[in-house]
Amino acid sequence: MSGIIQRLGFIIRETGQALDRLGCRLQGNNAFLEDVFQHRTVMSLGGKKASIGDGAFVAPSAAVIGDVTLGKRSSIWYGTVLRGDEGAITIGDNTNLQDNVSVRTSKAFLGGHAGATSIGNSVTVGHSVLLDTVTIEDEALIGMGATLLEGVKVEKGAQVAAGAVVSPGTVIPSGELWGGNPAKLLRPLKPEEAAFISKSAQTYAELGAKHLKETSIGH
């Protein structure tokens, strides 16, 4: 019952904020504008609204903007920004984007790469990662602080080491570990490293469910 009441409260507050924004537009220059801006975790842009899957957790301090699709039981952690303004961002099921990750799309891309970002199922994206118009297939792992530039493709089961900078258009094959700046092949993944990718995704799905119970944002 408490969950239903929290959700109802969230809907009422969001409705009130939407009515306030409409009133300000109608008043034009005569509108009173508050000095303090209230953070909006999920924000529509240009008629495009995010789709949040069942059981997904979006942290209250995250920002999910525009054309974003988030799969079931996935988690978007504190301080993370998904900016689907120039193209779509699609995230599969059971995937986690940890604290302070930045995901964007671009129309002004290099080499004719598609202006969208796609992240598959059971993917782990570590803290403070930057993803710029990339494709990440299922069960891949991106280490903390890595930067993946336009047109990068990480194939299923591949891993990018912490702090790596992956050059535009690079393809990282399945079962390989890449690292460095610019990133290059370090070695094949060890069996225990490959097994850890799935374990990491499941661990974060379970942790996200715990955080979801304490917030009013999610499904």
d(CA 181, CA 191): 25
Average pLDDT, the chain: 88
- Residue 37 predicted with pLDDT over 60: no
CATH architecture under which domain 42-214 falls:
3 Solenoid (2.160)
Helix (H, G, I), strand (E, B) or coil at 198: helix
- Residue 20 predicted with pLDDT over 80: no
Helix (H, G, I), strand (E, B) or coil at 20: helix
pLDDT in tens, 101-149: 999 987 765 555 558 999 999 999 999 999 999 999 999 999 999 999 9
Segments of the chain assigned E as strands: 42-43, 51-52, 57-58, 63-70, 75-76, 81-91, 96-97, 102-104, 117-119, 124-125, 130-132, 135-136, 141-142, 147-148, 153-154, 159-160, 165-166, 171-172, 176-179, 184-188
pLDDT in tens, 59-116: 999 999 999 999 999 999 999 999 998 889 999 999 999 999 999 987 765 555 558 9
- Residue 53 predicted with pLDDT over 80: yes
64 close to 70: Cβ distance less than 8 angstroms: yes
19 pLDDT band, cuts 50/70/90, is: confident
Please report, for the chain, the start and end positions of each structural domain, with discontinuous segments joined by +. 42-214
